[in-house]
Amino acid sequence: MTSRRDFIRITAMGAGVLVAGTAAYKVIKSLSSPEEVKKLVVDLKRTPTYCEVCFWKCAGWVYKTSEGKIWKIIGNDEDPNCNGRFCPRGTGGVGMYYDESRLKTPLIRVEERGKQVFREASWDEALELVSVKMKEVSAKYGPESMALFTHGSGSAYLSTLLKAFGSANIAEPSYAQCRGPRDEAFTATFGEEVYSPEITDIRDTKCLVLIGSHIGENMHNGQVQEMSDAIDKGATIITVDPRFSTAAAKSKFWLPIKPSTDMALLLSWIHEIIYNDFYDKKYVEKYCSGFDKLKEHVKDFTPEWAYGITTINPELIRKAAKEMADASPAVIVHPGRHVTWYGDDTQRIRAVAILNALLGSWGRRGGFYRPAKFELASYPIPAFKAPAKTWLDAFPGKYPIASLPVSNALIDASIPENKPEYQIKGWIVNGTNLISTIPNTANTLKAIQNLDLIVAIDTMPMEITGWADVVLPECTYLERYDALRAGPHRKPSLALRMPATEPLNDTRSDYWIARELSKKLGLVSYFPFEKQEDLLDWQLKKAGTSLDEMQKIGVKIFEREADDLYFAENEDVEFFTDSGKIELYSAYFEGAGFDPLPRYVAHDEPADGYYRLIYGRAPMHTFSRTANNPNLTDLMDENSVWINPKVAKEWGLKTDQYIWLKNQDNVMSDFQVKVRVTERIRWDSVYIVHGFGHAQKQMQRCFGRGVSDTQMITKVLVDPLMGGTGMRSNFVTFVTEKTEQEVVS
């Protein structure tokens, strides 16, 4: 075997240029005397926050210098989500505040001889325009023709506004573009989802099985920390990934699977566990239903059968199954997070859920714990009127098991050619850059052409703000209060975010925006507190604390009401499924016209010269929203395309060479991407990190850097169960010279 060695110094150092001579020389006092240090520490003012760079919402402290300048953000030791340690994105959150490309003032689109430009506006003028247009949409088509796309903390108040307005069309791309299939699959099986942060008891697990889930690269903070604890305690990690991920490098077993064949592997694992009597008999007998049907269903799915599909050695499949069984019930077959891959994702995660049920991990130490959440009092507001129509009525019968609005369905309902029962005519887009978030950008742009109103609320001039009629600049999370964080965990907790400093420029918080808009729409009764501080204080007092106390402590932990983190020995448990049991066989899916047991269906394969496009995360970036952050861009300023050396040799490609990608539908990447020749990727696939290739010039730092995976994803396999957009069925080839007109918007 020839040995190859990739050596990469990930962080770039200053370009080795010496600053010589005394002209540039400035005397800087080194901070080394203890007296000075003490002064620095004491002078600091710290305010509590919880992070908004990703959805993990770690609580921390914002430290300022004595001049009041934001200096650094560190974790709050009491916080169960972060245990006092932020991830690089959270630590780099300061960059969000200092990013000079930020939106600064409200903008209104000006139509100027076919050229779309914006003019600056006052808040009053901008909000007045939004309210007039919203009223027009409502009068012409009904209030349900307004839709909200939202993500993050702003959702709380903008959702209230939209519901008060009369629309339930509030979609988060985190559902149909990310975790929806998993939530539906686990709900169908266990009667409960896996929540966020996930209720995976990684801290105490003996065996963690990751299927395409690259913990460590996706810096889901608490999970990364617990995986590290588990490694310390000698837990086994099993990773299934066509790419040699960071987690794969820390695994006892890495299964280098042929992409799109995970279902075959899962079925063969189920087969192994049942037919070797590896399953938890007592648990299955007591808690599960449909075992006999499952056993019959997987009869022929042997590891040898799976080998032919997955290319994974049957012995490796067997060894991994034995490892899981030996660890049972302290085993986690991880549900994953961004699981929208091949359009049969709900069924694939059903197989994951079934596997967990057979191993008896749900409700057990080292498996999945029972979460506890603090229930905040809701402040008195008028009841929302039931909307005349919801998103479900736009396309009756579609996505029958979707429990939340599907963002792509709302976009489809904005296009008249799709013949929706009623059309969406106005969008409010908050913190979701739909151009980079929703695959098939052409479809999104088509929808945009048919709208009467688009309002973009964001901190940055993202691609979507370029398409908006009105742009409302939010302040960053470091400059505002927000709804209290009360997510689930082992113990109930509350976390406060408060402004560390005054908002920069003419930016405002979502609460302020929603309330001001509610005044113009005659809906202010839904926002009874003029100041958000009063609302928070009211809620906190009901919770037995106060705004004053929370400003000092940031995070408050409450005790669990009962000692029920795990099932007690022989506990009778009623699951929230129709049968009250863990449903191995899903009568619910069957009733909706779908397979009650998951089955393997082969997916398309790349043509000669094309490679499957796999995308994922780098630890220092999240979604597509951090690419311009000065601190995080400093760590990684563009993505690269990972290519196996065999493939690179065939094409004559070298590391650091720039190329274009072209997909199976002849879509050429707007920008060039750097080649990274590495053994860490299979020869039938290429890999890029999501969130680069921004085409918005106003984002000075990231404009034109790297390639946008979303742009390359034109073939989308929509999950018929819940509308999830399968995004791993696109194939790309390499273009070293571009002959077409360069597309630079």
The DSSP secondary structure of 285-325, one letter per residue, reads HHHEE-HHHHHHHTTT--HHHHHHHH---HHHHHHHHHHHH
Question: For residue 28, what are its two tokens?
Answer: 């800087």
Interface region with other proteins, contact rule CB under 8 A, candidates 3-11, 117-125, 372-380, 586-594: 3-11
Question: For residue 90, what are its two tokens?
Answer: 């959270």
The DSSP secondary structure of 558-620, one letter per residue, reads ---SSS-SSPPTT-----SSTTSSEESS-HHHHHTTS-SS--------PPTT-EEEEEE--TT
Q: Is residue 378 within the footprint of other proteins (CB under 8 A)?
A: no
Q: Is residue 386 within the footprint of other proteins (CB under 8 A)?
A: no
Looking at residue 209, what DSSP letter applies? E
Q: Which is nearer to other proteins, 218 or 714 (CB)?
A: 218
Q: Which is nearer to other proteins, 62 or 484 (CB)?
A: 62
Site for other proteins in 203-232 (CB under 8 A): 216-217, 219, 221, 224-225, 227-229, 231-232
Q: Which is nearer to other proteins, 234 or 652 (CB)?
A: 234
Distance, CA of 413 to chain centre: 24
Least separation in angstroms between residue 30's CB and other proteins is: 5
Q: Which is nearer to other proteins, 17 or 386 (CB)?
A: 17
Query: Residues 577-606 vs other proteins: string with x where CB under 8 A?
Result: ------------------------------
Interface region with other proteins, contact rule CB under 8 A, candidates 83-91, 504-512, 536-544, 733-741: 83-91
Looking at residue 49, what DSSP letter applies? E
Largest separation between any pair of C-alpha atoms in the chain: 82
Interface region with other proteins, contact rule CB under 8 A, candidates 69-77, 126-134, 177-185, 411-419: 69-77
Least separation in angstroms between residue 676's CB and other proteins is: 11
Q: Select from 635, 641, 702, 716 the one that contacts other proteins (CB under 8 A).
A: 635
Q: Select from 53, 54, 62, 94 the one that contacts other proteins (CB under 8 A).
A: 94
3-class SS string, 672-727: CEEEEECCCECCCEEEEECCCCECCCCCCCCECCCCCHHHHCCCCEECCCCCCEEC
Site for other proteins in 113-142 (CB under 8 A): none
Angstrom distance (rounded) from CA 57 to CA 73: 13
Query: Residues 538-577 vs other proteins: string with x where CB under 8 A?
Result: ----------------------------------------
Q: Which is nearer to other proteins, 209 or 353 (CB)?
A: 209
Residue type, 516: E
Angstrom distance (rounded) from CA 624 to CA 618: 11
Site for other proteins in 639-658 (CB under 8 A): 644
Phi, psi of 677 (to 5 degrees): -80, 120
Angstrom distance (rounded) from CA 321 to CA 349: 17
Please return the burial class of 389, using the count of CB atoms within 10 Å of its CB with bins 0-12, 13-18 and 19+: middle
Angstrom distance (rounded) from CA 487 to CA 56: 9
Site for other proteins in 285-324 (CB under 8 A): none
Question: Whose CA is closest to 369, among 162, 224, 219, 565?
Answer: 565
Q: Which is nearer to other proteins, 190 or 253 (CB)?
A: 253
Beta strand 555-557 pairing with 493-495: antiparallel
Residue with tokens 């999104």: 444
Query: Residues 322-341 vs other proteins: string with x where CB under 8 A?
Result: --------------------
Least separation in angstroms between residue 91's CB and other proteins is: 4
Q: Which is nearer to other proteins, 19 or 383 (CB)?
A: 19
Q: Which is nearer to other proteins, 245 or 423 (CB)?
A: 245
Interface region with other proteins, contact rule CB under 8 A, candidates 7-15, 342-350, 389-397, 662-670: 7-15
Query: By the 8 A CB rule, do 233 and 203 touch?
Result: no
Q: Select from 85, 179, 364, 370 the one that contacts other proteins (CB under 8 A).
A: 85
Angstrom distance (rounded) from CA 118 to CA 536: 36
Least separation in angstroms between residue 230's CB and other proteins is: 10
Q: Which is nearer to other proteins, 71 or 305 (CB)?
A: 71
Looking at residue 236, what DSSP letter applies? E
Angstrom distance (rounded) from CA 472 to CA 477: 15
Looking at residue 508, what DSSP letter applies? B
Q: Select from 149, 165, 254, 642 the one that contacts other proteins (CB under 8 A).
A: 254
Q: Select from 46, 50, 51, 92 the one that contacts other proteins (CB under 8 A).
A: 92
For other proteins, how many residues bind (rule: CB under 8 A)? 81
- The reply to whether omega before 329 is within 30° of 0 (cis) is yes
Q: Is residue 4 within the footprint of other proteins (CB under 8 A)?
A: yes
Interface region with other proteins, contact rule CB under 8 A, candidates 16-24, 118-126, 302-310, 557-565: 16-24
Residue type, 567: F
Angstrom distance (rounded) from CA 70 to CA 81: 23
Q: Select from 166, 181, 197, 256 the one that contacts other proteins (CB under 8 A).
A: 256
Residue with tokens 């970036």: 621
Q: Which is nearer to other proteins, 34 or 396 (CB)?
A: 34
Least separation in angstroms between residue 255's CB and other proteins is: 9
Least separation in angstroms between residue 65's CB and other proteins is: 10
Q: Is residue 71 within the footprint of other proteins (CB under 8 A)?
A: yes
Site for other proteins in 229-248 (CB under 8 A): 229, 231-232, 244, 246
Least separation in angstroms between residue 568's CB and other proteins is: 32
Query: By the 8 A CB rule, do 538 and 381 touch?
Result: no
Least separation in angstroms between residue 304's CB and other proteins is: 19
Angstrom distance (rounded) from CA 418 to CA 450: 12
Q: Which is nearer to other proteins, 12 or 568 (CB)?
A: 12
Least separation in angstroms between residue 198's CB and other proteins is: 16
**Between 314-327 and 345-359, two packed helices, what is the crossing angle to 10 degrees?**
50
Site for other proteins in 675-734 (CB under 8 A): 678-683
Task: Please count the other Cβ atoms lying within 10 Å of the Cβ belonging to residue 512.
Answer: 20
The DSSP secondary structure of 367-393, one letter per residue, reads SBPPPB---PPPPP-PPPPPPS--GGG
Query: By the 8 A CB rule, do 325 and 206 touch?
Result: no
Q: Which is nearer to other proteins, 85 or 425 (CB)?
A: 85
Q: Select from 155, 624, 631, 730 the one that contacts other proteins (CB under 8 A).
A: 631
Interface region with other proteins, contact rule CB under 8 A, candidates 74-82, 115-123, 283-291, 496-504: 74-82
Least separation in angstroms between residue 525's CB and other proteins is: 44
Write out the H or E segment, with its range, that includes residue 229.
helix 221-232
Q: Which is nearer to other proteins, 41 or 139 (CB)?
A: 41
Angstrom distance (rounded) from CA 466 to CA 694: 12
Q: Is residue 22 within the footprint of other proteins (CB under 8 A)?
A: yes
Looking at residue 476, what DSSP letter applies? P
Q: Is residue 630 within the footprint of other proteins (CB under 8 A)?
A: yes
Least separation in angstroms between residue 71's CB and other proteins is: 7
Least separation in angstroms between residue 384's CB and other proteins is: 40
CA dihedral 637, 342, 252, 489 (to 10 degrees): 80
Least separation in angstroms between residue 187's CB and other proteins is: 30
Query: By the 8 A CB rule, do 301 and 270 touch?
Result: yes
